[in-house]
Structure 1
């Protein structure tokens, strides 16, 4: 397996200074394709729920098909830039394109409606507080990545969105040998999901961030049931696993689940799947396995209590304003979904804290990931509910309950933001984030091509 040094790939990147919004992504993609009309084009693949056009770039290059899409979670804009850089490089580098042997289908933004609701933080300042105050993440059943058809035990999900249907059509039309879903974490280190791996591919994937001076996220995965194939490399998980895990802890799986994933939908086509997760802020503790003088069970119990506090704060606010809200905004729908989601997560963490295997010394990386998850819950979801309440005020509905809960949440969010922004982390240059995703795509495309 050939390998182009990651530093060389980064050296070829343009200097990105900010994330791009929906309209800028579309304009740049069309300009890139127009430079090589002999092998590149842009085609419509559908419309979003609000009527925005969905489109894909096609770059002819071989008999195999590769599908790459960004914006699958709208608070994760790195993938749009990676998609543009990938397209530009494939068109400029004939040898690379021919060596890989794929026809590429590149979708820089599959959720334009949700992405527009995040554009307020794209240009900075690069602080966790600013990010949280302009944050939007849809409810689970409105997320493209997790709204594919799903039927398992008591779960039956058929409310497939137009954006997801468009992606389903592309997957079924091209039957990709390789598919890359471009994601961002927020804080810590880099990690990946793949359908499978080899020692050679794992070595390449884990070397990419190291060559850029970025840590790997080598603690526990996003959920304890996710299979770790190697440090920072996990097997793409299925909704069925999440269902069974919740059920095993005495929780209702329907409180946390929606549909299946893009990886599960593409699996019958024999598609190799990659999701590259890159954070906005780096913390070297993400890859530190030094034991600390606290039990892991204690960290789980403490984390559950703090996430439960966020859930109660959101629930109390939603209950207080329930009779007053007049706008069914995406922010309100998401808040109504994530409040019980966080309650279920808190209960699951408390249950795990009682498991005998977690009565062991915790590691630095586990302490870091736990703190990061609590701060993310606070800044994300309190920030979204604040935006819902600000919408009520903006349309002339500042009832006493709306004003009261807005003031209460604003005070808590300011305090949480100050604490998060004082943490010893560093914002990662956008070029490095694009470089990780781009290099991982090339490494996996070569792996699949053999």
Structure 2
């Protein structure tokens, strides 16, 4: 499944080395080139397989805390090299890591538990995320990673962009900017074979129509978002950049830890009341982290950086998000959706606490002890509530790889 010698999430350096090895093995088919540089000067690499005009672009590493895609990208590249029919009239292009700066800060290559995962956690603030930056920043302030990604799309004009995402705990789902008829069947079949639940009520796709179990299609223009306060809008993200050339984007999500609670389509007996309770817990947990942060701020003058910015950005979302949950009718009334909202409401304060802990770790600050206790308690409660079970890395990669290939083949039929 992996081009790496052991089953763990690779670093960007290891990704590049593996891509170079593939290029050396098949120099007539593969090329590797730099297509940009990050804010810190780290190179962004594009591995290309084949030279056909019709192109598929696969993007890994858009979110630093979702590392499965780094393995999947290499696995798909190898599969495309081994199976010549996958290159019949199609060239494949792999952006190895869309955010190498972020990847350098998320440091859990082989997490043993959710607590272990959060001890090395990093996810940038929204304006610093390559895919989402266009939805919250004016064009003249876009980060270089975003400009590199859109530049690749402009050059390749792919009929399909696949961006590899993941979730810490939950199930697998797909988000599409246009429907891909026929994709749901192989997606669901793969998930079942590999014992990965299909997240039928993903809060990330709240209000999106489903073309099949776990396959969600962006709603038509004019339909408002499920969470109006959140600043990001998928229609202004890099996902939509491929539409300029008649293409579409598939976002393939796969869990690190699975929960069988996220694929229950049964109606929840009182979804609004349950979500209201989750909103109150979200506010309470975020307030705990905010109090620690406010107490530590006078001592953080020299510690400002991406971790602190990301923690503060997440906490700033909470008042609006809690209000959305209370005052907006549930986008879905199933147990699966309420469970997904439960997970979402746990993640926001937990991630803020984890990143703030990393800012203070190594100091003698008393706040670090408080944060460590919160991260430990909340991680364990999250895992226990959702009965988390680790998905073997080879299964994470295989399911995501199968879905990428299925999306490419089905989308090709629709766009010919």
1:448 to 396, 411, 414: 411
SS at match of 2:298: coil
SS at match of 1:144: coil
What's the CA shift for 1:181? 0.4
Instruction: Give the structure 1 partner of residue 166 of structure 2.
Output: 184
| 2: CA distance, partners of 1:171 / 1:140 | 21
| 1: CA distance, partners of 2:26 / 2:211 | 40
2:117 to 105, 120, 131: 131
Query: Are 1:113 and 2:101 matched, yes or no?
Result: yes
Query: Are 1:381 and 2:352 matched, yes or no?
Result: yes
| 2: CA distance, partners of 1:259 / 1:146 | 10
| 1: CA distance, partners of 2:56 / 2:144 | 22
Query: Are 1:283 and 2:245 matched, yes or no?
Result: no
What's the CA shift for 1:84? 0.7
| Residue range with higher mean Cα deviation, 65-74 or 229-238 | 229-238
Query: Are 1:432 and 2:395 matched, yes or no?
Result: yes
Rate the CA distance shift 1:27–1:427 in 2: closer, same or farther, 3 A.
same
2:378 to 394, 403, 416: 416
Instruction: Give the structure 1 partner of residue 109 of structure 2.
Output: 122
| 2: CA distance, partners of 1:217 / 1:246 | 19
Instruction: Give the structure 1 partner of residue 35 of structure 2.
Output: 45
Q: Is the 8 A contact 2:360 2:368 kept in 1?
A: yes
Instruction: Give the structure 2 partner of residue 27 of structure 1.
Output: 17
Rate the CA distance shift 1:443–1:245 in 2: closer, same or farther, 3 A.
closer
1:322 to 297, 317, 336: 297
SS at match of 1:44: strand
Q: Is the 8 A contact 1:16 1:431 kept in 2?
A: no
SS at match of 2:183: helix
Q: Is the 8 A contact 1:141 1:259 kept in 2?
A: no
Rate the CA distance shift 1:91–1:366 in 2: closer, same or farther, 3 A.
closer
Rate the CA distance shift 1:241–1:106 in 2: closer, same or farther, 3 A.
farther
What's the CA shift for 1:257? 6.5
SS at match of 1:26: helix
Residues 62-107 of structure 1, C-alpha deviation per residue, up to 9 Å, x if partnerless? 2211111100101111111111111112222223322xx2111111
| 2: CA distance, partners of 1:32 / 1:346 | 48
| 1: CA distance, partners of 2:384 / 2:135 | 42
| 2: CA distance, partners of 1:134 / 1:237 | 35
Counting only pairs closer than 5 Å after superposition, residues 186-225 of structure 1 correspond to structure 2 as 186-225=168-207
Uncovered stretches (5+) of structure 2, i.e. residues with no partner = none
| 2: CA distance, partners of 1:257 / 1:317 | 31
Q: Is the 8 A contact 2:175 2:205 kept in 1?
A: no
Instruction: Give the structure 2 partner of residue 3 of structure 1.
Output: none
Q: Is the 8 A contact 1:16 1:430 kept in 2?
A: no
Uncovered stretches (5+) of structure 1, i.e. residues with no partner = 1-9
Instruction: Give the structure 2 partner of residue 371 of structure 1.
Output: 342
SS at match of 1:350: helix
Counting only pairs closer than 5 Å after superposition, residues 30-429 of structure 1 correspond to structure 2 as 30-98=20-88, 101-119=89-107, 121-125=108-112, 127-148=113-134, 156=138, 158-236=140-218, 246-247=227-228, 251=229, 254=231, 260-291=236-267, 294-325=269-300, 326-352=302-328, 355=329, 363-390=334-361, 393=363, 398=364, 403-423=365-385, 424-429=387-392
SS at match of 1:418: helix
Q: TM-score, normalised by structure 1?
A: 0.84
Q: Is the 8 A contact 2:308 2:356 kept in 1?
A: yes
Q: Is the 8 A contact 1:276 1:440 kept in 2?
A: yes
* Count of residue pairs brought into register by the alignment: 411
Residues 308-362 of structure 1, C-alpha deviation per residue, up to 9 Å, x if partnerless? 122212322332223321121211010111111122211111113xx4x78x9x6
What's the CA shift for 1:142? 0.4
Q: Is the 8 A contact 1:69 1:109 kept in 2?
A: yes
What's the CA shift for 1:258? 10
Q: Is the 8 A contact 1:315 1:339 kept in 2?
A: yes
What's the CA shift for 1:156? 4.6
What's the CA shift for 1:231? 2.3
What's the CA shift for 1:216? 0.6
Q: Is the 8 A contact 1:15 1:431 kept in 2?
A: no
Q: Is the 8 A contact 1:310 1:377 kept in 2?
A: no
